[in-house]
Copies of this chain bind each other. A is one copy, B any other.
């Protein structure tokens, strides 16, 4: 367990974000190499933008950033890069927000659960094995073949809950 915080992840806790970003980028490179996919400039920049914060970003927010840096300024530019990242497990799409977020554990325990703070927009991506198992049981009971799952909770992160109280 050198670099995988596994179940007791920092989540909303403060942490060394530079390292966090760098590690995710490295893992992304590895993963793409394995799959024979290319981390082109737009794609790389898109991933970096998502990695800057533990927040979900709308496609148009990402697009503005890309456009400002000389990439194309039409929606498909952002959507394609985001779709690529999602396909390769380097980012997630948050259904609840119509938005995207960088994946913090590429390659590990996919289909995580998300805790989304409605006050500060911060996001925690957590290993969701127990939750998925419970859902898998439910599906099995009903003869349903699960392909993708969406497990998201909206609420207040510890910091915001404290402030409100």
Contact = CB atoms under 8 A, between A and B. Distances in A.
Majority secondary structure of chain A interface residues (helix, strand, loop or mixed): mixed
B130 A147 contact: no
Nearest to A164: B145
Interface residues of A, number: 39
A142 to B, nearest CB: 4
Interface string A112-124: 0101011000001
Interface stretch (A19-27, A43-51, A71-79, A150-158): A150-158
A144 B130 contact: no
Contacts of A11: 142, 144
A109 interface: no
